Amino acid sequence: MIALFIELQEQYIPASDKATYNVNRINSHTILNYLSPTIYTDAIYRSYPYTCIIFFSASPFTYSDLILPIFTDHTTRTNYNMKLVTYLRDEVDQLAILVGDQLYNTQDLDPQLPGNMQHFLLMWEEVIDIAREAEAQLKAGKTVGAAVPVPYQSVDILAPVPFPTSCRDGYAFRQHVAAARRNRRIEMIPEFDQYPIFYFTNHNAIQGPGDIYCMPDHFDKLDFELEVAIVICKPGRNIPAAEADNYIAGFMIMNDMSARTLQMEEMKLNLGPAKGKDFSTVIGPMLVTPDELEHLLIPARPGHTGKNYNLKMTCRINGVQVSEGNMGDMDWTFAEIIERCAYGANILPGDVIGSGTVGTGCFLELNGTGKLNDPNYQEQWLKPGDIVEMTIDGLGTLTNTIVEEDSTFSILQLKK
């Protein structure tokens, strides 16, 4: 048998599409097992984090018959990549490059590098190569400038972009939208498939890991939302989706905290989220540049433009996993969201844009599905003392504790 070995990115097939692709899960085998023609009886699928190899031969097998998953440890790759962390030093927000579990202050690495994220983003195209070279030297075990390694766990970590120029949140996951509408017994809205939408949230309520302070009214159906966020690294206007990925500095985990009772009351007036969403938007724990995730690139959905990534997303409350999704299930790409954001408007370095909630990524959706399937289902909502841990492949883990503010003030009680 003559075979040509070609290494590809792993194939990601959304759960909803597996029947279309006629895929089967298989166990691991050796290369020699795979060379046996008798195994090629069906299309073969294996989920992340594996790399596919396609074998071509003179046999009558189709390409899909010959898709083979080979176990690959992607953590050993040596491409230059960047993880940027904002932390507190001498009561001032400082910027560092994370290498392993050690932080290296950017200005200590090279005086040409800005000392905080705001300035770094403003000067992105001028300084990113300097930062990459410094990181490469650090990974080679060399001393760079005056930088002294600081253990990541020994400092207070802030939001990667503590002072964003704006904050928008999208609505990119059809699974979440469809489930939320199904749970309310209403049809899927057709406009979702026509254009990507977003709203502006409170960019002054951005925070990173740590305590989330909530008022009494917030605890009336307090919820998390598991999302991915990007930050913009250069100004632009009227940007085509085909070019929009070039404006992304990197990716972060995002938790769009939501007070559902406040949100649902004000949404009746059709003006969009306000008090139900403006008290805390959590991002972190680091900003990961796109090249860090190149090995997890997957195609956009058919008919869509831009990059997407095969990143598993989970949320745990007090150590119990309540949510699991994948960034690869985004129906609208960040490139398409940027295209709409930038139509007739300027986007700026430091603008943060969220993806919207991944499927199963909030209690609102989970509770609705639970009650639909079981009339005796007990709703879950966040309460004081709860620990929220969000993990996304390649982006780390974002951990927060829910804290009740010492106040009895209530705007719900002010209703006429």
Provide the pairing of β-strand 248-256 with 281-288. antiparallel
Per the CB < 8 A criterion, the answer to whether 400 and 211 are in contact is: yes
Domain assignment present for residue 77? The answer is no
Rounded Cα gap, residues 88 and 103, in angstroms? 12
The pTM of the whole model exceeds 0.85: no
Residues 189 and 55 in one domain: no
Residues 68 and 91 in one domain: no
* pLDDT for residue 124: 98
Domain assignment present for residue 27? The answer is yes
Element (H, E) at 228: strand 226-232
Residues 314 and 389 in one domain: yes
The identity of residue 133, as a single letter, is E
Domain assignment present for residue 278? The answer is yes
Last residue of a domain, one of 127, 154, 181: 154
* pLDDT for residue 8: 37
Query: What is the domain count for the chain?
Result: 3
Through-space distance between the first and last CA atoms of the chain, rounded to whole angstroms: 80
Residues 218 and 348 in one domain: yes
Residues 145 and 170 in one domain: no
Residue ranges making up the domain that contains 109: 83-154
Q: Name every residue whose Cβ is closer than 8 Å to that of residue 51 and which is 6 or more positions away in sequence.
A: 7, 8, 9, 10, 69, 70, 72, 74
Instruction: Name the maximum alpha-carbon separation found in the chain.
Output: 80
Domain assignment present for residue 383? The answer is yes
Domain assignment present for residue 159? The answer is no
* pLDDT for residue 402: 99
Residues 206 and 98 in one domain: no
Last residue of a domain, one of 99, 127, 154: 154
CA-wise closest residue to 157 among 212, 105, 207, 104? 207
Residues 399 and 258 in one domain: yes
Instruction: Name residue, tokens 């590098």.
Output: 113
Mean pLDDT of residues grouped by 10 in the chain (416 residues)?
Answer: 36 41 29 31 30 35 32 39 94 97 98 98 98 96 96 98 98 93 90 96 98 98 99 99 99 98 94 94 98 96 97 98 98 98 99 98 95 94 99 98 98 95
Residues 20 and 87 in one domain: no
Rounded Cα gap, residues 317 and 58, in angstroms? 53
Element (H, E) at 241: helix 241-244
Rounded Cα gap, residues 153 and 342, in angstroms? 38
Residues 303 and 322 in one domain: yes
Last residue of a domain, one of 72, 98, 127: 72
DSSP state of 31: H
Domain assignment present for residue 345? The answer is yes
Residues 295 and 396 in one domain: yes
Domain assignment present for residue 40? The answer is yes
C-alpha R_g of the chain? 23
Residues 116 and 57 in one domain: no
